[in-house]
Each structure stands twice: as structure tokens, then as C-alpha cells.
Amino acid sequence: MSDPIRSTRPEECASAADATLVGLLDLLAAPARMIAADGSPGAVNRSYAALVADGRPVVGEVERLDLADGRRIEIWPRGSATLPVLSDAIEALEEGFAVWDADDRLVLFNRRYRDLYRDFNDLTYPGVDFASHARARLNAPQLQMLQPEIEAYIERRRRERRQNLPPFEVERIDGRWIRLVDRTMPDGGLVSIRIDVTDLKRREARAAERSQILQTTLENMSDGIVAFDGEHRLVAWNDRAFELAGLPDEMKRRGVSMVDLVRAQAANGEFGDSSFEAVFRTHSDWLASTRPESYERRRPDGTILFVRHNFARNGGFITTFTDVTAQRQAEEDAERHQAILAAVAEAAARILSGESWLEQTRLLLARAGEVLSASRVILTEIRHGDDGDRRLVDLVVWNAPGAPPPPTPMPPGMDAARHAAFADWWDRREQGETEQALTRDLDPGKRAFLEAIGVRSLLRMPVMIGQQVWGTVGLDDCSSDRIWHPIEVEALRAVANLVGVAINRARSEAARQDSEETYRRLFEAAPDGIMITEHQIIMSANAAAVRMMGAASDRELVGRDIYDFVPPEYHAIARLRARVVRDSGQPAPYREREMLRVDGTRFIVETTGTKVAAGQRDRLQLIFRDVTEKRRASAEIQRQREALIQSEKLAALGSLLAGVAHELNNPLSVVVGQSFLMEETSRDERTRARAVKIRAAADRCARIVKTFLAMARQRPPERRRVALTAVVRAALDIVAYPLRTSGVELQVVVPDDLPLLWADEDQLGQVVLNLLLNAQQALMEAPTPRRLAVTAALLPGGARVRLTVADNGPGVDPHLRRRIFDPFFTTKPAGVGTGVGLSVCHGIVAGHDGAIWVEEAAGGGAAFVVELPLGEGEDGDIEELATADATGVGRHVLVVDDEPDIAAMLGEILDGAGFRVTVVESGRGALDLLERLHFDLVLSDIRMPDIDGRDLWRAVSRPGRPGTPIAFMTGDSLGASAAEFLIEAGCEVLEKPFDPPEVVAFVRRLLGRPV
């Protein structure tokens, strides 16, 4: 059983009071030697019993004589037989004191002992046995969970009490801490001392908390710190101190002596060649001086430590370690940088003095090599031949004393190897890049060349003249694998810049003599107009300025006031801008302004002004460019952008209308079919007449729907035999209402017997519709009467058909006719025209090998003419149509459509045409019938709720099944999924809405083909 209370066993007593009590116990338990009256040797043992004298407990002494022969004699002293002095002393103790006899019964206790067990006062009395007393204390409610183990615990405690264990501490359930001391006496009795150490524990806890805070603070310090007591033993530290001082982690423990720490440092080589004895002697001298001390020490790894020793009040001392490596390196770098700057400045003064740049560069490179401790400094020029070859010429080579000089001149073989190995480097250097490398890290070609000339590390910096790379200046180190310091890199960059400045100055000086002529050529060749003014008077003008100003020569401009060419309303702002430029010396930002030509006409320019120094005089340079055409082009681009947006809106509207048209397909098919059947079957003339009207209206709606679908459908062009008459009629159906409400008189002359065209019907319909809409919009600007004529005819030769759409509107200006078909070009106001329609028409007609143009209509207005070839398409469709009427009678057709009205109507139409027809309203029903019956053709809708047309086709077409032709009807020709499926299946399609003759012809054509 584990203790029900926490306990500690300190090795030593924690207070002087403890020592006093222990001494008292030893005194009480000490045996005495004596001789009995009969001469028998024996030992006197004193024991004490609880007595009551004068109403208070005292200690009663009993002497027991144990003789050698085993006899025992108890002797009570005469008189009161009390020890009041000893009793008073025990009572005066601050600690609890009790005496137990050999049978573990309580004999004696003081008031403090009783107070420590105040909750059990009724059980604390002389004669109570230890087990009862302990059991009562352990029966507290807080210890109920330990009840099964209490007896075992009490028995263990009885044994431990008689083992003279070191003092230990326990925490009671009320939170108090008690230190327990138990000592046995020779007679088997036991003395118990109980000390309340609660306050001591609390102080220790607070001290531990403060110690933890201190340790946390120490660990968060960037400096290392160690503290020693007066005996020079370690009492506090942080990990940073052990890291910086090079001490092993196993020595991180309290009590380690300073001597052991110094010995460990010396063993690790922290003090270099100095022996442990020498280092310890230095430490001892410092400790004897009792003065603070600080110094810097370099560790074997190069780290520089700033060490401080300070004495503490208790005779100990504190040592701190600060890593100042970066600081000292920065100071060294600063000193070195200062020396480099001084050397560069000295050389710069000479190189900029105007003397020979090459000679001064030699001195500069020599000084740089000395300051930077380089083995070699090389200035290399990159020269390009007329044939594009690149040559490298070493103009200056400086070698440090003792450094191996490179071969001069370089042997041809080595020079070629140099060019081959470093081609990629020179490419990068010509882009202005810096190169630094260690020879050992390079590829074999570069490494072999550099090892041949003794280079172990190199640094190359481009020499720039303006934005061009003239060559390089480089440093070589032939003695070590050197990593170039950033300061060295920047120093070499400064040298390269100075060399570039010197070369540039030399070139500038050489070019100064012909600068006037060069400037004049540039001035005259400038594409922008340039005029130089002094006090507002034009001093010179280049050819571009003369041309823009409309002058015959510069004599018409020179000598005149610049404000003669500035519109009066801009005089104030122009004078203000000139004053700002003159006062600030900064160029004016480009602004758009109007200027006046020599003849007084205005034009728009972008202009800026700059201040030009001419000796002691300040002149202003006016630079301008004519942006009239740019403005016009910008406006045109904006107009075309707006037209494109309008076109996108129209496309979206077209898609919306096509979606609406698609939703009308099924009901329109029913209306068209039923009206046709009503017309065919009704015997009542009035009913037949009404059916004819319904059918005519439904046919018109169907044509409009098909036209919308054709316009919105996105598919590759598909050419087939097309009747131009039907195309024109479908387009007129769409625009008939707006033409009628606009008061337009429509004349249509399109013969029904025109030959069929080989064309894409959808695209052709789009051309006709665009031309009709353009004509309608043009007529809105014309007074009444408004006339629109659509004519078509077969041209002589019988190979081409001409379609003309003519109106009596305002017409098209002759100079615009050549641009009327350009993309985004329009003569209509903003928001009305997009400039896209005619461009699309032109592209479609050209794609059909035709031609389209505009001309003046008879009587005024515009006539758009389209000529198309008949084409040489396949004649299979015509042949099929010619023979379809006699095909399919008596053949069995399965009609599948989830719309009952459409399915029933199709069955009635085909039944009336002589076919055997079975109608089913679901794909699942169709599959059941196909398993049991044979059909010559399946005519199915694509979109159905359970098994759709796709699944039906896959079931019919699966391997091992007798092939049954299948065709589809759909109103979803716009859907991407439907279109993809139809391409995959390769089946014929009957698009809704359809009329009965179209259905019959479609089925007969399919049944006339081989399965």
C-alpha cells in the first residue's frame, strides 16, 4: 500500500530545534552500567511513565536493572518520583513530543503534539495504542477510497517507526506539512517528534518559483551567464553560457567546482596552447584581487567572446559571455572598407584628372590589388569583329609579388580553350552579371584552364559604359579557396565603375570635336518636331517641325514668336508651363494641346518642353508630335470596342431567343401535324379551311423557330442542296412584322424553280437576314414611301444565282463602299450599329466562292448584291427524294416519344402513309418490344426520362444483336451533349418542329437505304 499522505525524508534535520530534540532522545535512551548488590553485573535502563502531579502530567522515572543472569529489578525513586523540570522542558517545546512504550501505547505527550492532532483529541490520551490512533485519523472522508489498504498501511508504519529512519515530511489532508522523527529506546519504547514545517514549505515553494523565473530569464538571455558561490561552486547558469564557453552538457549541475569547469575547457582546447595550470593561475590571481575584470577571448572556432567577471556580496562571483564576433567583424570590415575607399578615392582623383586613362587605370588596379590582397588583377576588353566573333584582350594585368604570372601572350591553344570553356560566362557578363567562383567547384573545362594559370578563386565585375558592357575587371586568388567578402565585391564594383567612367570620358573627349555635326544630324532626323526658343523667339527648327507646321522651310519659322503658333486661349497655360520649366530645370510632362500651322489651321500635338543651356544663355526646347491621326485611330478603336460589346449582347440575345424557340418545338410539331391531318381527313369545307389557316400560321412559326435555331447553332459549316426560295421566305418571316409596322412596302421576286444551291443553309439564311435588317434600319431614316425589293434570278450560263436586296433609303457614300465590309466599320450612330453584320456576310459569301458588293439602287438608295455558284455537291439527296415516294409501304416502324401528343400524331401520320406503326411512350417500353418483335425502323426522341435515346441506341447497336435502323427526332439541336451524341452515333436526325410530309419523306428515305 502506498502512503495515503505525501512524505519526504531529508538527510539532515532542517533546524536547530530538530537537533535539540534528537539529542534529548539520545539522552533519554542512553543505558547506564552498574553492579548489583550481590556483585552481579547489570545495566540500568531508565524508562518513563506518565504521572499526574498537582493536576498536570509529568514524567515519572522508573529504573530497571537487567542482571546478567536474566533477572530484572525495577526501582522507583523515593519521594515524589517525578521529574518536573524535564516535564516542563518537554511542554515548552515548539515541536510535538510523545513517548510510546514497547507495546506501541502512548505514554506521554505535550500540548503541541495534541494540537497537531486537534481533530482527534478524544483519541489522544495515555494508553491509546498506535493502531487505534492511526485508524481514527485515516478514517477521514477524504481518504475513503483508501479504506481497503488502511490496515496494511498501519502495519507498515509500525515497522518503519522502529527503524530509526531519517526525518521525513508528509502533507496532511488539511494542507499542513509535518516533519516526522521517530527514535527507539533500549527498553523497546519509542519517542516521536512532530514538527509543523508548513511555513517552511511555503517559503521553499516561493523560493523555487523565484528560482524558476530566474532560470527562465537566464535562458532567454542572448548572453551566457554562470554564477558561483563563495566556495567557487556552480549555483546558476543558462545553456547559452555552456554553448559559448565550450563546456560539456554533463557538467550542468549545481555544486560543480570552477576548477573542474576550467579543466574541461582546457581539455577541449578552449585556451589554445595555454596549459590548465597557467589558466588556473590567472583565475586564482583574479579571485585574490577581488576586482571586476573583463577581456576578449577568441575561441578555437573563431568566435570572439567578451568575458566579464563580477564579484557577488556572498563572496561568490558571476561571469557573463557575450558573442561579439559579428561586431568585431563589422569593425574590421569597416576599417578595411575605409582603407579601400581611401585607395579608390585617391585613384579616382588621378583617373579623373584628364590624363591618359589607361596609365591611370594601371595605377588604380595596382592599388586595388594591394588593398584587396589579391594575387592578380586583370582588365579585359571584349572586342567584336565584323564577322560577329568575340575576342578577349587583356589590356592590364597586375601581379602581386610572388604570385605566378599568367602566360603573356597566351598561347593560341590556351586562348582557344579559354574562349570555349568560358563562353557561357562571357554571354552572362555581356548582360552585366557578376561572376565569382572557386576553381574546385567548376566544370572540368573551366577548372583545367584556371588550374593551368594557378587560379584557385576568382571574382569578375563587368565594366559598363552607359548600358553597354565594355569588358571586365577581375581579381584572382592563387593561394587559397577564397570566398570574396561583400565589401570586396563592392570595392571591385567601384573600381569597375571608375574604369568605365575613365573610358567614357576618353570617348567623350574624342567625340566632342564632331558633336555639333552629330547633334545637327540627330536634330534634323528626329521624327518629332523640335524648335529651340530664346525669349519666346524661335532660334531653330528641325525638318519634322517645318513639315508639321506646314512651312516651306525653316526660314518661315526662325525669328518668329513661338506664341504666333499657339491658339490664344492657350497662351496663359503655355507661358506658365514655360516659366515652370525654366525655373525648375525639369522637363514638362507630355500634354496634348492644339497648335496653329503657318496657314492658321489647327492640329493636335503631344508636346513637352525642356531647358537647354547654351553658354550663359538659357533656351527652351519645344518637342512635339502630331497626334491627330492617333486621336482618330483611338476614337475608331473605341467605336469598334463598343461595336464588339454590342455584338456580344446581340449574340447573347440570339442564344436566349433560340432557347425560347427550342421550347416551342414540341407544341409546334403537334399544331403543324394535327392541322395537316385535320385538313386531310375533314369532310367539312369550313373545318378544312380553318385547318389550312392554322397550318399556315403554324408553318410560319415553325420556320421562324428553325431560323432562330439555325442562327444560334454552333457547328461546322455543313453544305447540302438548299432552295434559295425557302431561305429567303424563312428570313422574311422573321422581319415581316417590323417591316410592316415601319410602313415598308415589300416586293419579293424569287422564282420557285431556281436551281438548288450547294451551300450551308444556316449561313445562307444569316446572310439574307442581315441584309434585310440593314435595309430596314436604313429605311427608318428615309421619308415615306419606303420600299424594299428582294429579287433573285439565275444568271446567263446557268452556273450562278444572283440575289439583290435593294431599298430606297439614304444609300452608301461612294467613298465608303470599299470599307463597308471591313470588320467593325459602320455608318450607323453609336448604339445602333455594330459593324459586324456585313463583315460576317462577306466572310460567308466568300467561303461559298461567291461575291457580295453594294451599289446604288435604281431611283436612289442602296442595293446589296450577292452572287453564288450552284456548286458541285453530291446528288444522292436528290435521287433519294425522287424515289422516296414509293418506298416503305407496309414496313413496320416503332415510334418512341415521351410526349403522348407527339407520339400519337407521328403514329397517325405514318399509319396514314401506309406504314405499320407501333407507338410507345418510354425507352424502357421500346426495349421490351424490340426483344419480342422485329421492326424495320425505330424513330425515337433523344431526351426521355427513364431510358433516353442514347441508351436505346446503345442497346440496339450492341454486338450480337440483329441490326435495326434507328433515327432520332429532337428539338435540342443546340445542346452540346445532344450534338456530341449525334456525331458519335452517326444516325439521321429529324428536327422539330416538322410537318407530316417531311416526316413521311424522312421515313421513306431511310427505309429505302440498305440496313
The dihedral built from the CA positions of residue 10, 13, 18 and 22, taken in this order, carries a sign that is positive
What is the maximal distance between C-alpha atoms in the chain? 177
Task: Return all residues near 537 (Cβ < 8 A) that are at least 6 apart.
Answer: 559, 560, 561, 562
> DSSP letters along 478-519, please?
SSS-PPPPHHHHHHHHHHHHHHHHHHHHHHHHHHHTTHHHHH
Q: How many whole angstroms separate alpha carbon 339 and alpha carbon 324?
A: 22
Alpha carbon distances (Å) from 37 to 45, 68, 312: 17, 13, 68
The dihedral built from the CA positions of residue 153, 154, 159 and 162, taken in this order, carries a sign that is positive
For position 58, what pLDDT does the model report? 44
> DSSP letters along 176-243, please?
-EEEEEEEE-TTS-EEEEEEE-HHHHHHHHHHHHHHHHHHHHHHT-SSEEEEE-TTSBEEEE-HHHHH
Please give the CATH superfamily to which domain 34-200 belongs: PAS domain (3.30.450.20)
Peptide bond into 823 cis (omega under 30): no
For position 157, what pLDDT does the model report? 86
Residues of the chain with pLDDT under 50: 1-37, 39-40, 42-44, 46-62, 65, 67-68, 72-82, 830-831, 875-886, 1010-1011
Q: Nine-digit cell at 374? A: 589579391
Q: How many whole angstroms separate alpha carbon 902 and alpha carbon 941?
A: 10
Q: How many whole angstroms separate alpha carbon 637 and alpha carbon 824?
A: 9
When computed from its CA atoms, the radius of gyration of the chain, rounded to whole angstroms, is: 59
Rounded to an integer, what is the distance from CA 333 to the centroid of its chain? Answer: 38
Torsions phi, psi of 663, nearest 5? Answer: -65, -20
Q: How many whole angstroms separate alpha carbon 23 and alpha carbon 936?
A: 127
Contact 702, 668 (CB under 8 A): yes
H or E element that contains 881: helix 876-883
Alpha carbon distances (Å) from 540 to 52, 560, 609, 646, 957: 139, 10, 15, 50, 89
What class has domain 892-1008?
alpha beta
34-200 and 206-330 share one CATH topology? yes
Cβ-defined contacts of 9-16 (< 8 Å, 24+): 9/165, 9/166, 9/167, 9/168, 9/169, 10/166, 10/167, 10/168, 10/169, 10/179, 11/166, 12/166, 13/167, 13/181, 14/167, 14/179, 14/197, 14/200, 15/195
For position 33, what pLDDT does the model report? 41
Query: For residue 849, what is the DSSP state?
Result: T
Q: Nine-digit cell at 945? A: 426520362
H or E element that contains 258: helix 258-267
Upper half-sphere CA count for residue 745 (Cβ side, 13 Å):
8
Contact 488, 343 (CB under 8 A): no
Q: What is the CATH number of domain 715-869?
A: 3.30.565.10
Upper half-sphere CA count for residue 426 (Cβ side, 13 Å):
19
Task: Return all residues near 492 (Cβ < 8 A) that are at least 6 apart.
Answer: 368, 372, 459, 461, 473, 474, 475
Contact 669, 993 (CB under 8 A): yes
pTM here?
0.34
For position 654, what pLDDT does the model report? 54
For position 692, what pLDDT does the model report? 74
What class has domain 206-330?
alpha beta
Q: What is the CATH number of domain 526-631?
A: 3.30.450.20
Contact 462, 433 (CB under 8 A): yes
Contact 391, 397 (CB under 8 A): no
Helices and strands, counts by H and E, the chain: 30, 37
Q: How many whole angstroms separate alpha carbon 907 and alpha carbon 916?
A: 9
Cβ count within 10 A of residue 886: 9
Query: For residue 95, what is the DSSP state?
Result: S
Domain spans in the chain, listed from the N-terminal domain onward: 34-200, 206-330, 354-512, 526-631, 715-869, 892-1008
Q: How many whole angstroms separate alpha carbon 538 and alpha carbon 530?
A: 10
Q: Does domain 354-512 have CATH number 3.40.50.2300?
A: no
Q: How many whole angstroms separate alpha carbon 1003 and alpha carbon 720?
A: 19
